[in-house]
Amino acid sequence: MAEGEERRLEAYLAHRQRLLRLAYRHLGSVGEAEDVVQDAWIRFQASPEPLDAGRFLSRIVTNLCLDRLKSARARRETYVGPWLPEPLIEKAGIVDPEVGETALDISFGVMRALERLSPLERAVLFLHDLFDMPFHEIADTLQRSPAACRKMATRARSALAASGQRFRPSAGDVDRFQQSFMQTLASGDLEPFKRLLADEVEFVSDGGGKVTAALQVVRGADKVARLLYGLAQKQLEHRVASSELARINDLPGLVIALDGQLDQTMSLELDENGLIAGIYVVRNPDKLAHIRFQPEADLGSVASPVSAGSDSTG
């Protein structure tokens, strides 16, 4: 390999993980993000060697993502029920050195807030906050004026701030949630479990019209607790549930199986008081296809909440 080619490959590999997160934040798909970053490498190879490889690659990835989002927009408009990104799964205990950087946050609450922005607003926000790209370079990348890019960045930050701040749970928080729910299933008493939930807790379940899932976001501690209790009793009857703690979008969460078959992922977010403010469940089998490990911890025939909804599909 020639010296220039080796230098180019090293530069690409040094930025690859950050580029994957950039693409994932745009697209919400693990597979599509990988495809985009691979396409970016092909274009990078065919381009003159840039002064700043990170910025140059980020511009390539951004434009590739914007092209893909043109067709994705039509799919999102016809999506059945709430949309959540594909869960990005890693074994519990693995820590990415990039985790904790606000500009790279891929938690479900943040991803849902980003989905409310236009593709161009997201692009401006990511390029400026993630790669420290000045607005005149962003304007050149997106074919917009620097003033327009500044306005889009301001609107994007305001929209994210208005969505409300959520906090990261620990593995202990996830265990406390699961153990409390198991006790509720055994006793039928919802009150101890409800005390873990914030008054305005949100339950978001993504089945994509492929499997049973709530067609609306369910809000409120009483409604969420009753929904989870009723559905778990109904769906876990004569079935064996198992779960495994995993890192899901950089936060501790659960991968859950029924009768040995992967059924869903579950993620939590907390409020400032340490109460559960968000519960995010992905059941759409298309979004679970990339998960390569199965839960092993046996929870018995009635043990763990299974997402769905009283208004169901499939």
- Report pLDDT digits (tens) over 71-93: 777 677 788 999 999 999 876 55
For residue 56, pLDDT over 60 is answered with yes
- Buried b / exposed e over 230-260, threshold 16 CB at 10 Å, is ebbeebbeeeebbbbbbbbbbbbbbbbbbee
Helix residue ranges, H only, 133-254: 135-142, 146-162, 171-187, 191-194, 221-235
Which pLDDT belongs to residue 197?
A: 98
CA distances from residue 92 to 88, 89, 96 in whole angstroms, order as listed: 12, 9, 11
pLDDT band at 96 (very low <50, low <70, confident <90, very high): low
- From the list 105, 137, 121, the residue with the least C-alpha distance to 66 is 121
- From the list 153, 287, 115, 292, the residue with the least C-alpha distance to 209 is 287
What number is the average pLDDT over the span 163-169?
A: 85
For residue 26, pLDDT over 60 is answered with yes
pLDDT band at 290 (very low <50, low <70, confident <90, very high): confident
More confident residue, 241 or 279: 279
Segment 204-213, tens digit of pLDDT: 999 999 998 9
For residue 235, pLDDT over 90 is answered with no
For residue 94, pLDDT over 60 is answered with no
Structure tokens at 72: 């994705």
- From the list 60, 77, 54, the residue with the least C-alpha distance to 26 is 60
- From the list 79, 83, 87, the residue with the least C-alpha distance to 263 is 87
Collapsed DSSP state (helix, strand, coil) of residue 131: helix
What number is the average pLDDT over the span 115-136?
A: 92
Please give the distance of CA 74 from its chain centroid, rounded to a whole number: 20
- Total-model pTM: 0.85
Which pLDDT belongs to residue 303?
A: 38
What mean pLDDT, rounded, does the chain reach? Answer: 86
Residue 7 CB coordination number (10 Å): 13
> Which residue type does 302 have?
V
Q: Enumerate the β-bridge partners of residue 246.
A: 91, 253
